[in-house]
Structure 1
Amino acid sequence: MTRPFAPACERNAEPILDRLRTHLPAQAHILEIGSGTGQHALHFATAMPAWRWQCSDRNENLPGIAAWLDDLPPERRLEPLALDVFSGPWPHARYDAIFSANTLHIMPWEASPILMREAAKCLRPGGKLLIYGPFNYNGGYSSPSNAEFDGWLKQQAPHQGIRDFEAVDALAQDARLRLLEDHGMPANNRLLCWQRENLPA
């Protein structure tokens, strides 16, 4: 099949990888939520051979993701999982980290607490949740381009929109995820990193 391609993934893959390297060990098992085209997965797994990168997304996106993963050696290729944040099924495995890029402003806001709660369950103690994308702060846009992007998102679908950092962090805290870093990224994006506290088994 023709591989799906997102120019933004091509641009932001290396800056994101630089930040992931600061938070994750050279050997790690990582779940990606909303793998989209699959470009990030191939880039990160190629750059870090000891990362076991597990893609997931809604069913309709899995063939495109698989097409990108075909470039990996067979022994390192993990079949992408069907995962809808609302309905699951969420994996039973425990991961060292969970990563998601440009998903919170696409999903309905009601999906955000589910994502935080289920991600916390899927993380090992001390595991990290890393989320990339644009965020608002103190109820306002962080740049004119983000304001324009938010307007475009809402024209596409009323449930979409840039989320408030404070509201997202409150959901993370409710799921016993502690913020470690809020790092500025190119094009007015952020890389947020939370760490899982000890949770009951």
Structure 2
Amino acid sequence: MSKRESPAAQRNRAPIADVLVEELPERGVVLEIASGTGEHAVHFARTFPQFDWQPSDPDDAARASIAAYAQEAALPNLRDPVLLDASAAVWPVEQADAMVCINMVHISPWEATEGLFAGAGRILPQGVPLVLYGPYLEDDVETAPSNLAFDESLKTRDPRWGLRALSAVDALAETNGFARAKRVAMPANNIVLVYRKQ
């Protein structure tokens, strides 16, 4: 069975979609980076029929899961998943009208986040959103004990992983020509960050 399941994706897809309703442009292509199981891609493609939803993932098993969900859903606006490593200098997608990246920044080396913003700078037009979701370390917000424990567990799995300081992400965004336009508190001590190309 190629399909994987993520309880977190099933819980957070509706709250994330509520934010996307306010942030996405009227139509176009949305590139999802690190699509994982594919459950988000199916939900968002169904929720936003005016968009072509382009899932991607560097992992073969993840892309197989995305393809299995897509085949089952049979949505005309859900594209086949592509192999995309965010840290790569060249991406297989040359243009998009928005980008969404859920739970990748903390479960990947920092180079992936650097590549994410560099790639967004290459393919996104001015003013359109790059939307991130996940847990972050914020200077003015007390970090939940569950997030601190999660951070430790991530670093145990791979020392290059872990929750990122929001200040570092904001600085990286600015270096690549983006500014944070919104922060939205989400369930389970996560946040949505919306960056727009200046």
Match of 1:160 in 2: 161
Structure 2 letter corresponding to 1:54: Q
* Aligned 8 A contact 2:107 2:161 in 1: yes
2:4 counterpart SS class: coil
TM-score by length of 1: 0.92
Q: Is the 8 A contact 1:130 1:193 kept in 2?
A: yes
TM-superposed CA distance for 1:88, in Å, is 5.5
1:12 is aligned to 2:22: no
Q: Which residue of 2 aligns with 1:137?
A: 138
Q: Say if 1:73 and 1:184 are closer, same or farther in 2 by CA, change over 3 A.
A: same
In the alignment, structure 1 residue 149 sits paired with structure 2 residue 150: yes
Structure 1 residue identity aligned to 2:136:
F
CA distance in 2, matches of 1:161, 1:124: 30
SS in structure 1 of the partner of residue 97 of structure 2 = strand
Structure 1 residues 41-52: aligned runs within 5 Å: 41-52=41-52
Give runs of ≥4 in structure 1 deviating > 4 Å: none
Question: 1:55 and 2:73 equivalent?
Answer: no
The CA distance in 1 between the partners of 2:161 and 2:49, in whole Å, is 35
Aligned length, in residue pairs: 197
- Which residue of structure 1 aligns with residue 111 of structure 2? 110
Q: Check the 8 A contact 2:2/2:64 in 1, yes or no.
A: no
Residues of 2 paired with 1:147 and 1:51: CA distance?
A: 36
**Structure 1 residue 110: Cα displacement:** 2.5
What SS does structure 1 have at the residue aligned with 2:179?
Answer: strand
Tell me whether 127-136 or 74-83 shows the greater mean CA deviation.
Answer: 74-83
Give 1:87 deviation, angstroms. Answer: 2.8
Q: What is the rounded CA distance, in whole Å, between the counterparts of 1:116 and 1:108 in structure 2?
A: 14
Cα offset, 1:99, TM superposition:
0.4
Is this contact kept in 2: 1:70–1:77, CA < 8 A?
A: no
Q: What CA RMSD, in Å, does the superposition of the two structures yield over aligned residues? A: 1.7
Structure 1, 135-144 or 80-89: larger mean CA deviation: 135-144
Alignment partner, residue 179 of structure 1: 180
- SS at 1:9 equivalent: helix
1:141 is displaced (CA, Å) by 5.4
Matched residue SS, 2:13: helix
Q: 1:92 to 1:45 in 2, by over 3 A?
A: closer
**Identity level (%):** 38
Q: Per the alignment, do residues 181 and 74 of structure 1 end up closer, same or farther by CA in structure 2, a change over 3 Å counting?
A: closer
Higher strand share: 1
Q: TM-score, normalised by structure 2?
A: 0.93
Displacement of 1:159 in angstroms is 1.0
How far residue 77 of structure 1 moved from its aligned partner, in angstroms, is: 3.2
Q: Which runs of 5+ in 2 are unaligned?
A: none
Deviates more, 1:43-52 or 1:87-96: 87-96
The residue that corresponds to 2:25 in the other structure is: 25
Report the Cα offset of residue 92 of structure 1. Answer: 4.5
Question: Which residue type is aligned with residue 53 of structure 1?
Answer: W
Is the 2:45–2:78 Cα contact (8 Å) retained in structure 1? Answer: no
Q: Deviations over 1:111-168 (max 9, x none)?
A: 2222111111110221110000000012985211111111111111111100000000
Q: Which residue of 1 aligns with 2:36?
A: 36
